[in-house]
Each structure stands twice: as C-alpha cells, then as structure tokens.
Amino acid sequence: MFKILKTVRVFDYMANAGDAKSLIVRPSASAHFNQPEEERQAAGVFEDGLRFSAGLEDIIADLKQALDSIPV
C-alpha cells in the first residue's frame, strides 16, 4: 500500500475526496478514523485499504507505473 502511495505521480494522497483532482484516500485513517475497528471491518473498511477518486488527469499511466513498481 505505501509503495503505491510513494510512486504515483498524478494522484495526491489526501484525507479529503471532495475535490476534482485524482486522489488516494485511506478511509481507515480519515473518514472512519474514530470508529472502532470492529465497525470499520463490518463496513468493509480495512487498515490497508485505499480509495481512489479519479479526476481529470491522465491516470491510467500513473497507476500502471505505480503498480508495476511492486514486486510480485
């Protein structure tokens, strides 16, 4: 997860998804931060989960290079 956050070029890592830009948000550390872990898991929000919000930029190449950088 953190490798993706460090290698994307178009996406910004933000706590707010209310923007017209491409963002990566970690819901467990933002909108669901104050919920107990059991409630987050019941809602499908996990510690290593990421939410992608696509803006107007060319994001396909950015995501591809970030995902390609992760060893399989």
pLDDT tens, the chain, 72 aa long: 677 877 877 777 666 556 667 777 776 676 666 778 888 788 887 777 787 777 766 677 788 888 899 887
Q: Are 5 and 13 in contact (CB under 8 A)?
A: yes
Number of domains in the chain: 1
Predicted local confidence at residue 37, as pLDDT? 82
Q: Which two tokens stand for residue 63?
A: 């995501």
Range of the domain at 34: 2-68
Q: Which two tokens stand for residue 12?
A: 């910004």
Contacts with 52 (C-beta within 8 Å, 6 or more apart), sequence order: 11, 22, 23, 24, 63
Q: What is the CATH number of the domain that holds 25?
A: 3.90.1150.10
Predicted local confidence at residue 1, as pLDDT? 63
Predicted local confidence at residue 62, as pLDDT? 80
Q: What angle do CA 24, 26, 29 make, to 5 degrees?
A: 145
